[in-house]
Amino acid sequence: MIVVLKPNTPEEAIEALKKEITSENNVEINHSQGTETTILGLIGETQHVDIHKLRSKGIVEKVLRVQEPYKKASRSFHPKDTIIDVNGAKIGEGFFAVMAGPCSVESEEQLTGIAEAVKASGATFLRGGAFKPRTSPYAFQGLGPAGLELLVKAKKATGLPIVTEVMDISQLAAFDDVDVIQVGARNMQNFTLLKELGHVGKPILLKRGMSATMRDLLMAAEYIMAGGNDDVILCERGIRTFETATRNTLDLSIIPVLKRHTHLPIIIDPSHATGLSWAVESMAKAALAAGADGLMVEVHNDPQKALCDGDQALTPEMFDHIMSQLKRYAQIEEKAI
């Protein structure tokens, strides 16, 4: 339920109303303060809230029942775009973040080299998998905790915040120095993991499951937010369709639709979406033009020898070229890159 207050309602009156609502009902209040308007989002047993009584209050402009099953993730609860600030690297609204790095961390030499190269080209985050969800149990599974240590070393060397995937709650203890925790497409509906991430106090990069609808994605975000963690970055990384010419089908049209339904930032991963390194540039430009708040791209110093996803990996030179193109596009879109 949403209670919209009249413009310029004094703070004391707002607080008094909040107190009255919570003392009479088993609900939690999400307070969203705009420059003039105040929105109180009620979550919990809202079916028992006396809507007529609320509407009769002098400071209340209107009361609406929210149709969507997600609340904290909903734009109606929080009309302003959320901007997530990770040690000064911002994502959301006018800030376009670029997360770049290898699919998996393979060695110190590989990671440091790539980290320095992507930083020089303008990446704002370093990505790299230490725990890898692989289709085959015989494929390289990632370096595990040793990979995390290499990521932290690369972060110290370059100053880039790091983004890496967690596959299981048991791994979280080793994530203290990780800046953004990634939930992979295959784990988007691992509800036990999502609940735990509601308490970690770090931003979560939530990738859309390959057969997840927008509602499924936003409900997964809601699981994290319901636990108290509001910093969720959504990532469209391609969905499964009948098309086999690309690894997945990049659903760019979800960007404007998501923007209507949620205030959370949305980034695009054209690497896993296409599976084709030469297709990444056009999809990256399209993502920026379509209103995305950032990108996640895979970059490898020697794609042919990559232990994972070599076909979609950009070389540092290709990445550098794409960044120079994106900087031009960002000017048209008035985004800081």
Residues near ligand PEP (CB under 6 A) are 103, 129, 133, 184-186, 207, 237, 272
Beta carbons within 8 Å of 101's beta carbon, 6+ residues apart: 111, 114, 115, 118, 123, 126, 127, 128, 163, 298, 299
- Hey, what's the torsion of the CAs at 236, 242, 246, 247, to 10 degrees? 60
> Which partner, Mn ion, ligand PEP, none, binds residue 259 by CB below 5 to 8 Å per kind?
none
Q: Yes or no: say if 63 and 54 are a contact pair by the CB < 8 Å rule.
A: yes
- The residues that touch Mn ion, with contacts defined as CB under 5 A, are 103, 309
42-49: Cβ within 8 A, 24+ apart: 42/1, 42/2, 42/3, 43/71, 43/72, 46/1, 49/1, 49/21, 49/25
Nearer to ligand PEP, 129 or 265 (CB): 129
> Which partner, ligand PEP, Mn ion, none, binds residue 133 by CB below 5 to 8 Å per kind?
ligand PEP
Residue nearest to Mn ion (CB): 103
Q: From residue 206, how far is each of 187, 211, 216, 295, 297 by CA, in Å? A: 9, 14, 12, 13, 15
> Which partner, ligand PEP, Mn ion, none, binds residue 237 by CB below 5 to 8 Å per kind?
ligand PEP
Nearer to ligand PEP, 237 or 259 (CB): 237
> Which partner, ligand PEP, Mn ion, none, binds residue 184 by CB below 5 to 8 Å per kind?
ligand PEP
> Which partner, Mn ion, ligand PEP, none, binds residue 155 by CB below 5 to 8 Å per kind?
none
> Which partner, ligand PEP, Mn ion, none, binds residue 247 by CB below 5 to 8 Å per kind?
none
Nearer to ligand PEP, 34 or 133 (CB): 133
Nearer to ligand PEP, 190 or 229 (CB): 190
Q: Give the residue among 261, 280, 315 at the shortest CA–CA distance from 102.
A: 315
Strand 232-236 relative to strand 266-268, pairing: parallel
Nearer to Mn ion, 39 or 103 (CB): 103
Least Å from the CB of residue 271 to ligand PEP: 8
Least Å from the CB of residue 139 to Mn ion: 11
